[in-house]
Copies of this chain bind each other. A is one copy, B any other.
Amino acid sequence: MVKQYKSSDFAQMESRFRAALINSITGYKPANLIGTISADGINNLAIMSSVVHLGSDPALIGLFVRPDSVARGTLNNIRETGCYTVNHIASGMEAKAHQTAARYAEEESEFDAVGLTPDFVSDFSAPFVAESPVKMGVRLVEEQTISHNGVHFLIGKVVLLSFPDGAQREDGQLNLSAMDVLTISGLDTYAKPQSYTRFEYAKPHVPPSKIED
């Protein structure tokens, strides 16, 4: 049996039920912590599942921030300083990462509150997460707004990237499962992908071929 919803059903749902449903319908999402620093020098850390690949040359990534969300501090800091960090959440970090979503006071750093370590690299002003296996330094290059709901869309250029030696495959790809990177479903679920399958570049009328590694 199949359950079906239409637009009119969504409109009538209790708001938390609807948020839990609609946040889960796109599938698995990336699990990242966004590090920023305020003009007053307070380190901010916020969990986000809305980071998206936009292009490889230049290396651009997108980030969506709701206008009314707890991540308002993150948005303000990015606008003020023009930079932020994106740090992967690995297995074992999920409780601390989830806790960054709580509405801490502006003068409190989520790093201290949840027990993660801010790490600074060369002349990049935003804090990285020392415990994360994959860390990116990003500079804001463009901002757009979605007219239908006021959501802010930040477009950033990746200027720094670090990860453990040996976690990169010969073809360039990061081996996320070797680093125990997690993925998020909905608003509260953290899952760890384990077994995986890889395929060769697809060509018309040639059967899909697995890559063994």
Q: Separation in Å of the A59 CB from the closest CB of chain B? A: 5
In the bound complex, CA of A181 to CA of B4 (Å): 18
Scan A41-59; emit 1 where CB is below 8 A from any B CB, else 0.
Answer: 0000000011111111111
Stoichiometry (number of copies): 2
Interface residue range, chain A: 35 or more
Scan A1-16; emit 1 where CB is below 8 A from any B CB, else 0.
Answer: 1111111001101011
Q: Separation in Å of the A144 CB from the closest CB of chain B? A: 6
Q: Separation in Å of the A184 CB from the closest CB of chain B? A: 8
Determine if A174 and B10 form an interchain contact, defined as CB atoms under 8 angstroms apart: no
24 pairs of residues in contact across A and B, judged by CB atoms under 8 Å: A2-B163, A2-B164, A3-B163, A7-B159, A18-B172, A21-B56, A23-B56, A23-B173, A26-B30, A26-B32, A27-B31, A27-B134, A27-B183, A28-B29, A54-B64, A98-B202, A101-B202, A102-B206, A113-B204, A142-B147, A173-B185, A173-B188, A185-B193, A185-B196
Q: Which of A32, A86, A146 lies at the interface centre, i.e. has the most chain B CB atoms within 10 A of its CB?
A: A146
